[in-house]
Amino acid sequence: MNIVNSPLPMTEETHYHTTASAIPDATKSQMFGKPCYKINGKAFCCFFQNEMVFKLTGDVHQEALSFDGSKLFDPSGKGRAMKEWVQVPFDYQDKWERFAAEAAKYVSVMN
């Protein structure tokens, strides 16, 4: 299903849930009091400040950080960013589906 071409406009949070719940075996949960999705108990994405946050590595991590407004995820706001997590603005919602898939793949192989 290509959610980007949906005929109905989506809010940021609706798009987040639609994107994350489309990942096989993803379960809705909480992380730091924020909505997240997990695979096998490991978070791969969350929703923060109307943006989607992904646990990424390698080239896809760098790509996600390259977009205007993207940044390392700092849920405390105290300059303690989580280095593997990238917060991607809604302006790049067309990338969210791929980043969610990459994040899910990443946490699926972690021990």
Higher pLDDT, 44 or 7: 44
- Asked if 30 contacts 38 with a C-beta cutoff of 8 angstroms, the reply is no
Res. 3: pLDDT tops 60 = no
Q: Helix (H) and strand (E) counts for the chain?
A: 3, 6
- pLDDT for res 1: 44
Q: Among 3.40.640.10, 3.20.20.30, 3.90.1200.10, 3.90.1150.30, name the CATH number for the domain at 13-108.
A: 3.90.1150.30
Q: Enumerate the domain spans of the chain.
A: 13-108
- Asked if 89 contacts 51 with a C-beta cutoff of 8 angstroms, the reply is yes
| CA–CA gap between residue 38 and residue 30 (Å, rounded) | 9
pLDDT per residue as tens digits for the range 31-40:
988 999 999 9
Helix (H, G, I), strand (E, B) or coil at 98: helix
Report the relative pairing of strands 42-48 and 27-31 from DSSP bridges.
unpaired
